[in-house]
């Protein structure tokens, strides 16, 4: 299965959000990664449901909504209604009971459930044995801002996740943070099936070329 590139639209020109989402589809992106931060769980404020709705109208690509918010259950349904395809919530923000309720609500909308882990959070912090998880997101920077340096010391967690979820067709393993043209191939070779790319696409003089270079690197 080909490795997917999911550009983070939080790194794009916020004044041209719909146009940037449309461009990503034209340029060959596989998903659009939507970083949703509440200013509490992550020290930044980004998108609300209305922005996700606008992105949904502008692009047919799958929307991976990364809910970096302290109470994901509170706002989950609004982002599902806005058109999110994957609801990725953080392991640090849920209990066994709330995760079960979140999973049920995601299923009601025929969406997919993702679980994200901060760099310091161990995979075993959440028991996923009984959960239908389509995406594991391993953060290789601390949540908050685009352009941070990749943390290679987190990579063993990627290998651990791939052993726990060996089938790429059932569970994607996503790396989020500091992915660029210098490390994308190494990350893909270690078992990642989705790479989030923010500054390494939108921070370049030619975002289209940068995206295509990433896709070529992980395909080789």
- As annotated, the active-site residues are 35, 176
Element (H, E) at 116: strand 112-117
Interhelix angle 49-58/72-82, rounded to 10 degrees, is 30
Are 102 and 125 in contact by the 8 Å Cβ rule? The answer is no
Two structure tokens written together for 39: 């200013």
What's CA 88's distance to the chain center, in Å? 7
| Residue 167, phi then psi, degrees to nearest 5 | -90, 110
Burial of 130 (0-12, 13-18, 19+ CB in 10 A): exposed
Report the candidate in 205, 197, 152 with the shortest Cα–Cα distance to residue 179.
197
Give the end-to-end CA distance of the chain in Å, rounded to a whole number. 13
Are 180 and 188 in contact by the 8 Å Cβ rule? The answer is no
């Amino acid at each position: 299965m080909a490795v997917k590139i999911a550009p983070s639209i939080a790194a794009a020109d916020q004044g041209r959000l719909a146009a940037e989402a449309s461009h990503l589809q034209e340029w060959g992106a596989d998903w659009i990664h939507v970083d949703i931060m509440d200013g509490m769980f992550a020290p930044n404020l980004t998108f609300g449901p209305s922005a996700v709705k606008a992105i949904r109208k502008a692009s047919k690509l799958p929307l991976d909504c990364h809910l970096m918010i302290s109470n994901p259950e509170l706002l989950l349904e609004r982002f599902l209604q806005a058109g999110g395809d994957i609801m990725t919530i953080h392991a640090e923000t849920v209990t066994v009971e709330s995760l079960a309720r979140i999973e049920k609500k995601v299923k009601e909308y025929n969406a997919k459930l993702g679980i994200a882990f901060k760099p310091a959070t161990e995979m075993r912090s959440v028991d996923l044995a009984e959960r239908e998880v389509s995406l594991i997101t391993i953060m290789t920077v601390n949540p908050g801002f685009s352009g941070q340096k990749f943390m290679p010391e987190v990579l063993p967690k990627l290998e651990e996740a791939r052993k726990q979820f060996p089938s790429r067709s059932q569970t994607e393993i996503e790396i989020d943070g500091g992915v660029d043209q210098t490390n994308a191939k190494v990350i893909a070779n270690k078992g990642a099936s989705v790479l989030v790319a923010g500054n390494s696409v939108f921070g370049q003089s030619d975002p289209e070329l940068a995206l295509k270079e990433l896709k070529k690197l992980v395909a080789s």
